[in-house]
Amino acid sequence: MIWVETIVNGLLLGGLYALVGLGLGFAFGVMRIVNVAQGDFIVAAAFLGVFLLPWTPVHPLLVIVPVAVLAFGLGMLLQWLLINRVLGHDQIPQILLTFGLAIVLRNGMVELFGANTRSINVGDLRFMGFDFVGLKLGVLPALILAIALFLFATLHLWLRKSNMGRLIRATADDYRIVQLSGVDFRSIYAVAMGLAMALSAVAGILLAMRGSFTPYSGADRLLIAFEVVVIGGLGSFWGMFLGGMVLGVTQLVALKLDPASGLMYGHIVFILILIMAPNGLAGAFRR
C-alpha cells in the first residue's frame, strides 16, 4: 500500500513537473526557441511570490495571479528587447544570450536575497490531508495537480479556439508567411514568450509552495523542464504531461529506495527513454 501511495504521490508531483516543462515546450513549439534562462526565471518567480505574499488577499494561493501577470509582461519585454534581436537561422546566438541571462539572474538573486533555502508559506493548506480509497494524500499536491491540468486544458482550448491562438499556431507553422496576412511575427513571439513565462512562473510558485528553493535551484528546474519536453516528444502537448508523470513517479520511488539520490534517477530514466524512444514517448505511441 505504501508503494501505491508513493506512485500516486509521484503522479501528483508529475502534474507539477509537466507544468514546469510546459513553458519551455510551448516556447519551443511556437518559436523554435529554447530559453535556457527558464529555470532561473522560475526561481525568480518564486522570490517574487515570497515578496508579494504579505499583500495577497483572501488566500496565499492567489499570489500566483499577480506573479503570472508580471511574468507575462516580463516575457514580452524579454522577447522584444533581447531575443527578437538575435533571431535567425542559427540558434547559437539566442541560446548563448539566454545562457548569459541565466547567469546574471542566478547570481543577482544570490546577491539580493542570499543563498538560504526558502519556501512560500501557504499556512495550514500545506499539512492538510485527505483519504482517497484508503490512500492518505495531501490536499496541496492534489490541488496543484488540478491547477496544472486546468492550465494545460485551458491553453490547449485557447490555442484551438481564440483569434490569438490561431495566429500563434499559424506563426508556429510558418513565421515568414503569416506576415503576408499583416501579422507581425515578432509581436506574436512576444505574446508567446509572455505566456511561456507566465506558465513557468505559476510552476515556480507552486514548486515553492510544495517544497523549497534557493537561488541555485534554477539549473535543476531547467533540467526537469527540458526532460519533460524531450520525453514528451518535443512539443507534443499531452506528451509533456506524460513526461512529467514519468519523472514525478521516478523521483519519488527513487527517493524511497535511495534517499540521497536527488534527481539522479530521473536523469537516468530520461537517458533511457532517449535511447529507447528517440522521438519521446508521444512519438513512440504514434509509431
Partner 1 sequence: MTGLASMRPTLVGIAAAFATGLVIATPWFVAEGNMRLMIEIFAVFAFAQGWNFLAGYVGIMSFGQQLFIGLGAYFLFLASNWTGANPFLILPLSFVFSALFAAAISPFVFRLRDAYLAISIWVVAEIVRLFISQRDALGSVSGLPLVATREMERSLVATSSFYYAGALALISVFGLYYLSISRLGLALAAVRDNEGTASAIGINVWWTRFFGFVLGSGFTGAAGAVYYMSVFHVEPGGAFDPNWMVVMLFIVIIGGVGTVEGPIIGTAIYFLFRAWFAGTGNLYLMLLGSAAVLVMLISPRGIWGVVKSKSGVDLLGARHASGLEAAAKKSRTIS
Partner 2 sequence: MSLLAVESLDVFYGDFQAVRGVSLKVEEGRTVAIIGANGAGKSTLLNAIVGLHAQKRGKVSFAGADVTFDRAHTIARAGMTLVPEGRRLFGTLSVEDNLKVGAAAGRNGPWTLDEVYRLFPRIGELRHMPAASLSGGQQQMVAIGRALMTNPRILLCDELSLGLAPKVISDIYRCFEEIATSGVSIVVIEQNVGQACAAAQYAYCMLEGKVSLEGPTADLSMEAITAAYFGLDHA
- Applying CB under 8 A, which residues contact partner 1? 34, 36, 82, 85-97, 99-108, 110-111, 176, 179, 219, 222-223, 226-227, 230, 234, 258, 260-264, 267-268, 270-271, 274-275, 278
Q: Does 157 interact with partner 2 (rule: CB under 8 A)?
A: no
Q: Does 162 interact with partner 2 (rule: CB under 8 A)?
A: no
Site for partner 2 in 180-199 (CB under 8 A): 180-185
Q: Does 59 interact with partner 2 (rule: CB under 8 A)?
A: no
Compute the distance between CA of residue 166 and CA of residue 191 in angstroms, rounded to an integer: 13
Give the nearest distance from C-beta 172 to partner 1 in angstroms: 17
Q: Which of 91, 77, 25 is nearest to 190 (CA)?
A: 77
Instruction: Count the neighbouring beta carbons within 10 Å of the beta carbon of residue 267.
Output: 17
Check residue 213 and report its DSSP letter: B
Binds 263: which of partner 1, partner 2, none (CB < 5-8 Å by kind): partner 1
Instruction: Count the neighbouring beta carbons within 10 Å of the beta carbon of residue 185.
Output: 22
Q: State which of residues 163, 259, 260, 276 lies at the interface with partner 2 (CB under 8 A).
A: 163
Phi and psi, residue 119, nearest 5°: -155, 165
Q: Which of 286, 259, 86, 264 is nearest to 189 (CA)?
A: 86
| Sign of torsion over alpha carbons 149, 154, 156, 157 | positive
Give the nearest distance from C-beta 33 to partner 2 in angstroms: 19
Nearer to partner 1, 56 or 261 (CB): 261
Residues at the contact surface with partner 2, assessed by CB under 8 A: 163, 166-167, 169-170, 172-174, 176-185
